[in-house]
A and B are shown apart, each in its own frame.
Chain A
Amino acid sequence: MTQQLTTWTAALATLAIMTFLFAGDNKVFRFAQHVFVGVAAGYGVALASSSAVRVGWTPMVTKGQWGYLVPMVLGLMLYARFVKGFAYLSRTPMAFLVGLGASLSMKGIATDFAAQIKATILPLNTVNNVILVLGTASVLVYFLFTVKRHPVVNGVSTFGKWVLMAAFGAAFGNAVQGRISLFVGTLQFLLRDWLHLIG
């Protein structure tokens, strides 16, 4: 019974969202959209708070691991920005978060920069390798804005531009494919789980 109720709710909410295609922005669509946003936000808050209790609060009060008090107090200080006169208190945890984010991202120098450059140093013995090496080099030349425009540089730069266009085309193709996938999956849900028309 609970499962049926869940399926019917999901199916009706799906159809409500789909009304946008044929009726534009309408009350049914807006209702479903607002419910979705509210449920998603509520779910996120509930899950994050239960995680804070599980990982921070429980070890603190049951095992005396008072070290967790520091991140919990810092976390609470973030909310001080909503209290007039105490907003400055939120700057300390914010600074901590910015520093943490920056330091975690530093690993990207190894994974996104060095490793990716290394991956383009290839023997030119296959068509794929040639396309990869020449494509990468020419796109880099395209972004050289302070070099005197020699005809050779212009030619390589133009080739780089076409490589970029091909990449954008591939990205657009994937975007279309992704949207169709989402729609196919949604129709499968409606036909299989709700209407039982397909196996």
Chain B
Amino acid sequence: MEALQRLDRRWLYAALILVILLPLVKPLGIPLRPRSWTVQAFEAIEAAGPGDAVLLSLDYQVSGAPDIHPQTEAIIRRLMEKGCRVILVAFVDQGAQFAIDLARKWEARGKKYGTDIVVLGFAPGVEAAISAFARDVAAVFPRDVRGNPISELPAMKGIKTARDFKVIGDLATGIPGPAEWIRQVKTAFPEVSLVGNVVTVMGPQTLPYVQSGQLAGCMIGLRGAAEYEVLAKQPGQAVAAMDAQSMGHLMIILYIILGNLAYLATRRKKGSRA
């Protein structure tokens, strides 16, 4: 056991990479059961029908994208299938680039920019910008990222305030996140259906808002995306990643157990010497 204390940590990294890599190449098919808060989020988003406008705020950075971007992809895929209008916005600078890339991707798949999907762009100012946006969309974004006046875009027809969106999803890696959206949007428009989409680390701090009814539902990290894909019956990259994630967790649990055993063995030896 003491040898473990001296083990080169690079062996641990290598083992972890291998254990995660193998299920990605050859999936194991471990069953996945959606959790209640994801089901609530799914149902809230499903409430949007053909022609309804859904706002997705991509408030995330590149560093957290592997954990949260699959959620965006899964939600947009479902909304496009249903014929909803997807409006993308960002209150974190790097989020705007993801939105621009997604719009291009869906254009390449035959969807019409300005009608099916719109990118409003990035607005600096965090909470102040969210508050202003919620009260008057056109004041913060008179034009979209391509320079079109939003009053001329079919996708923006009838959208004046946050109240006019059927559902709002905030996809966040930090601040601003669901807490800021609740403060600035739910207080002004309590009837707005707001879904919190967060990275895994933010899960525990976001769930109380679901329990209190301030969020219509919550999707947490890559697993949240996988659960959404299962519920939407559109398995994609998030579902494919779940086996690897489960194996990674098992490996971490094994490391924690071995680490503690090695620590206890060392402490006992030191105790017996004393």
Q: How far is the CA of A112 from the CA of B245 in the complex (A)?
A: 32
- Most chain B CB atoms below 10 A, which of A21, A175, A192: A21
Count A interface residues, CB 8 Å: 48
- Mostly, the B contact residues are helix
Q: What 9 A-B pairs are tightest by C-beta distance, nearest first?
A: A185-B66, A178-B200, A119-B212, A181-B222, A180-B248, A178-B201, A181-B67, A107-B183, A44-B93
* A98 interface hit (Cβ, 8 Å): no
Q: How far is the CB of B17 from chain A (nearest CB, A)?
A: 8
Knowing A180-B245, A182-B66 touch, does A43 contact B240 (C-beta < 8 A)?
A: no
Q: How far is the CB of B168 from chain A (nearest CB, A)?
A: 15
* A154 interface hit (Cβ, 8 Å): no
Asked whether, in the complex, the Cβ of B131 is within 8 Å of the Cβ of A104, the reply is: yes
Asked whether, in the complex, the Cβ of B128 is within 8 Å of the Cβ of A104, the reply is: yes
Q: How far is the CB of B124 from chain A (nearest CB, A)?
A: 5
* A48 interface hit (Cβ, 8 Å): yes
- Most chain B CB atoms below 10 A, which of A107, A108, A198: A107
* B143 interface hit (Cβ, 8 Å): yes
- Mostly, the A contact residues are helix
Asked whether, in the complex, the Cβ of B252 is within 8 Å of the Cβ of A180, the reply is: yes
Q: How far is the CA of A181 from the CA of B187 in the complex (A)?
A: 33
Asked whether, in the complex, the Cβ of B24 is within 8 Å of the Cβ of A55, the reply is: no
Q: Please, could you name 25 A-B residue pairs with CB atoms under 8 Å apart, sorted by A? A: A21-B13, A22-B10, A51-B122, A55-B123, A104-B128, A104-B183, A108-B179, A111-B182, A111-B214, A116-B208, A119-B211, A167-B204, A174-B220, A175-B200, A178-B201, A180-B249, A182-B64, A183-B20, A184-B66, A184-B248, A186-B66, A188-B24, A197-B25, A198-B24, A198-B240
Asked whether, in the complex, the Cβ of B241 is within 8 Å of the Cβ of A170, the reply is: no
Q: How far is the CA of A112 from the CA of B14 in the complex (A)?
A: 43
* B62 interface hit (Cβ, 8 Å): yes
Asked whether, in the complex, the Cβ of B97 is within 8 Å of the Cβ of A43, the reply is: yes
A interface residue numbers (CB < 8 A to B): 21-22, 40, 43-44, 47-48, 51-52, 54-55, 59, 100-101, 104-105, 107-108, 110-112, 115-116, 118-119, 132, 167, 170-171, 174-178, 180-189, 191-192, 197-198
Chain A residues with CB under 8 A of B244: 184, 187
Chain A residues with CB under 8 A of B122: 47-48, 51
Q: How far is the CA of A186 from the CA of B140 in the complex (A)?
A: 34
* B65 interface hit (Cβ, 8 Å): yes
Query: Who on chain B is nearest to A197 by CB?
Result: B25
- Most chain A CB atoms below 10 A, which of B10, B183, B211, B220: B183
Asked whether, in the complex, the Cβ of B142 is within 8 Å of the Cβ of A59, the reply is: yes
Q: How far is the CB of B140 from chain A (nearest CB, A)?
A: 7
Q: How far is the CA of A183 from the CA of B19 in the complex (A)?
A: 12
Q: How far is the CA of A104 from the CA of B87 in the complex (A)?
A: 25
Q: Which B10-36 residues have C-beta < 8 A from chain A?
A: 10, 13-14, 17, 20-21, 24-25
Asked whether, in the complex, the Cβ of A100 is within 8 Å of the Cβ of B128, the reply is: yes
Chain B residues with CB under 8 A of A178: 67, 199-201, 221
* B127 interface hit (Cβ, 8 Å): yes
Which of A54, A107, A174, A197 sits near B200, CB closer than 8 Å? A174
* B203 interface hit (Cβ, 8 Å): yes
Q: How far is the CA of A188 from the CA of B200 in the complex (A)?
A: 18
